[in-house]
Each structure stands twice: as C-alpha cells, then as structure tokens.
C-alpha cells in the first residue's frame, strides 16, 4: 500500500492502462498535475478503473519515481473524486473503460470531477433551443443515406461537411464539394487522422463510396463554412472554459488552431499549430472587430457551459470550438468535455498554467467541503 496521510485529500485520475512505456497516455501532463497538486496539499495518482478490487476497496495506482525515472504501481484506496483523462486506443478498450467507470459511479463508489457530454447532435439540439445561442449554430442534420446528402449538396453550393457524432480530434471528418463539371471532391481525415483527398468523376459514385465509408456510424451534416486564414489554411478558435476554486466558470484562454492549406480541419492532432486567438483575428479583421469577437466568444461561451451543465450534469471544464467566416461572422462548431491543453500555450498570459491548475483547485474545493454539504451540488447556481 502506498503511504499517504489519512487527512490528505486525494484525487484520482482515470486512465487506460496499456502494455507500453509510459503505461498510459498524457503521462507528462499527469506528472505536472501531480507536482502542482503536491504543492497545494493534494495527493493525485492515476489508475485504471477496471483494477478496482471490491473486497479490499483498492485499485492499482501509479506513482512517478524520480530516482529511477519510471512509473511504479502501488495498491491504493479507491479515491472519492476522479478526473477522467482516459484515451482508449480502440473500441474494445473504450467499452472496457466505460463499463468499469459506470460500475463505480452507479454504486456511488466515486464522483466524477468532469462529466461526459452527449453526442454532437444532442448538444446542437439543446443549444438550438436557446434564442440567444441559436444564431451561432450552423444548420445541422443527421446523415441518413446518399439521397439526403444529395439534397444537401443541391442546396449548399459551397459543399457539405460531415463528422461523426461521437468523434474527436478531427478523426473521420469529411468535406464533400461538387464542381460545375459534375465531379465531386471528397476530402478529409482517416480514423488514424491522416489526410486524404479523392476526386470522383460523378456524384453517384462519390456518394456511394462515402456511404460505404460511413457504414453504421452516425454522422451529422453541416454546410461547409469558409473558415480560412490569410494563407488559405483552415482555422478555428478553442475557448477553454474551466471552474475555479470557488466553483465559478471562467474563460482560461482563447487560442487559434491553424491547419495546413488544403486540409479540412485545424485540429492539432491532425498536424495543425496553435497561435494567439486575438493575433489571428486581428490580422484578418482588424483590432476592433477582433476585440469584439473575443468578447463574444467569452460571453457566449459562459452561456453555453451553463446551459450544458444545467442539462447534462456537473463539469469542471469544457472546450468550446468556434469558427469565424470570411465575412467576420462567429459560428459555434462543437463542445468537448475532455479538452486538450496544447493550444493554451499560445493563448497568452497565464492560460497554460491556469489550464492545469484550475481543475486541481476545483477538485480540492470539493474534497475539502464540510461533510454536511452534498458533493453533487452546483456551486455556481
């Protein structure tokens, strides 16, 4: 058993173990979390939920050994509060992780610091019912078959963008563009986040190939928005929304994510790079309009996370992705309940440091609550 004081508040980090070195993803990020947590009197350790032993109430936790520069495992008591930073390698691992985590939460063995959002279609449906937020949302429809996409292509001359409702990091996204000569360009990213480009001589052939590629997965369709920078590169804006130590939502930072010219997404996992959001917007629209856009992202971002939390449970952080078209109009693209940290290094100020510190401060505020207070209540309401 790993030695730890009974009075030290403990936060678990749920990960997916793997037979590699390091034994789980985001190991460097988790090491930084552990170091920052120790400085604020908080004990943090990663563990895989499926290692829970019901009889002893323990899990296999991991600890970094500085002297040997390696991760070592110890038997630890199951923590009361858990921060999910799992990245399953495949569907089998995803199902295993979710089943184990569901079992622990269903039996009230632990409380999740950050909940899970439903799929993109459900998030869009919720936000579209808000009169102030609906103008930010592009038209969206669930893909049914080739005929529904053909109808969309007839109505949207700039093309149609498709993405899986449960996808992340830009994987398996696709744009469909029809030219005046009848050819159709399919351009997107594979399941391994590799870029591809396929030109089909006629629309029926293109839509048949696309339908087979989608298979039984659920996709949504949206009009292709002209979200390009000065060099023609796709770009979007990631706003990281987090709760502080008092349980109040704040905007940690807003960064631009820029893809390579000729690609369809700006996600960093697909080879993009980050830049300060205000600098990219100023270069495109001038400083005054850039300032207005940054203020709008913060204002609408706070409204969105509150709507999402009121309907889908508690969250400690949510990443919101926005786009700005060539006319300077702001669009909401999607929300992510397990946001990365890479873009925040370019967001300016203390964004990168705050991105790692705020979840710990919020977790500590929950762990140190008096016993009489309910752990599931919302501090901000």
Q: How many CB atoms lie within 10 A of CB 225?
A: 19
Mean pLDDT of 135-158: 94
Q: Nearest-CA neighbor of 118 among 339, 376, 337?
A: 337
For the chain, how far is it from start to end, CA to CA, in angstroms? 40
Q: For residue 148, count CB atoms less than 10 angstroms from its CB and return exposed for 0-12, middle for 13-18, buried for 19 or more.
A: middle
Residues 133 and 257 in one domain: yes
Whichever domain contains 87, its CATH number is 3.40.50
**pLDDT tens-digit profile of 185-199?**
998 888 887 888 899
Regarding pTM above 0.85, the answer is yes
Residues 133 and 151 in one domain: no
Which residue did the predictor score with more confidence, 234 or 153?
153
Residues 68 and 126 in one domain: no
248, 361 Cβ separation under 8 angstroms:
no
Which residue did the predictor score with more confidence, 157 or 322?
322
Residues 298 and 320 in one domain: yes
Query: 55: domain range?
Result: 10-112
Residues 128 and 271 in one domain: yes
**Count of domains in the chain?**
3
What percentage of the chain exceeds 70 in pLDDT?
92
**pLDDT tens-digit profile of 98-131?**
999 999 988 888 889 998 999 999 999 999 999 9
Burial profile 157-182: b = 16 or more Cβ within 10 angstroms, e = fewer: eebbbbbbbebbbbbbbbbbbbeeee
Domain boundary residue among 218, 253, 274?
A: 218
Mean pLDDT of 352-372: 88
Mean pLDDT lowest among 135-139, 319-323, 342-346: 342-346
Residues 157 and 210 in one domain: yes
pLDDT greater than 90 at residue 220: yes
Residue 376 forms part of a structural domain? no
What percentage of the chain exceeds 90 in pLDDT?
73
Residues 83 and 207 in one domain: no
CA 126 distance to own-chain centroid: 18
Give me the phi and psi of 309, to 5 degrees please. Answer: -70, -40
User: In whole angstroms, how far apart are CA 80 and each of 12, 17, 219, 318, 367?
Assistant: 8, 20, 36, 22, 8
Residues 106 and 203 in one domain: no
Categorize the per-residue pLDDT at 71 as very low, low, confident or very high, splitting at 50, 70 and 90.
Answer: very high
């Amino acid at each position: 058993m790993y030695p730890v004081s009974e009075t030290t508040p403990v936060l678990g980090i749920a990960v997916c173990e793997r037979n590699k070195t390091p034994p789980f993803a985001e190991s460097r990020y988790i090491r930084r979390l552990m170091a920052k947590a120790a400085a604020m009197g908080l004990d943090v350790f990663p563990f895989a939920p499926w290692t829970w032993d019901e009889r002893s109430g323990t899990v296999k936790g991991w600890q970094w050994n500085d002297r040997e520069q390696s991760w070592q495992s110890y038997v630890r008591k199951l923590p009361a509060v858990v921060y999910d930073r799992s990245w399953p390698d495949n569907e089998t691992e995803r199902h295993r992780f979710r089943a184990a985590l569901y079992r622990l939460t269903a039996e009230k063995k632990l409380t999740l610091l950050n909940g899970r959002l439903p799929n993109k279609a459900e998030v869009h449906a919720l936000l579209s019912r808000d009169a102030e937020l609906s103008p930010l949302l592009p038209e969206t429809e669930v893909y049914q078959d080739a005929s529904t996409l053909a109808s969309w292509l007839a109505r949207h001359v700039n093309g149609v963008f498709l993405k899986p409702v449960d996808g992340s990091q830009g994987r398996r996204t696709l744009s469909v563009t029809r030219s005046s000569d009848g050819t159709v360009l399919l351009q997107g990213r594979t399941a391994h986040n590799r870029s591809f480009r396929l030109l089909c001589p006629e629309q029926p052939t293109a839509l048949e190939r696309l339908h087979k590629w989608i298979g039984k997965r659920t996709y949504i369709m949206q009009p292709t928005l002209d979200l390009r920078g000065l060099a023609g590169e796709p770009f979007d804006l990631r706003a990281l929304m987090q709760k502080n130590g008092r349980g109040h939502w704040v905007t940690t930072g807003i960064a631009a994510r820029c893809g390579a010219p000729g690609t369809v997404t700006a996600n960093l996992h697909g080879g993009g790079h980050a830049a300060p959001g205000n600098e990219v917007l100023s270069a495109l629209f001038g400083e005054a309009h850039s300032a207005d856009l940054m203020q709008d992202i913060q204002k609408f971002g706070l409204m969105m996370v509150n709507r999402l939390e009121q309907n889908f449970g508690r969250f400690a952080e949510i990443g919101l992705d926005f786009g700005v078209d060539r006319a300077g109009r702001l669009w909401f693209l999607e929300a992510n309940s397990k946001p990365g940290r890479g873009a925040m290094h370019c967001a300016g100020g203390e964004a990168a440091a705050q991105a790692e510190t705020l979840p710990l401060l919020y977790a500590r505020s929950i762990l140190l609550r008096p016993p009489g207070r309910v752990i599931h209540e919302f501090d901000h309401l």
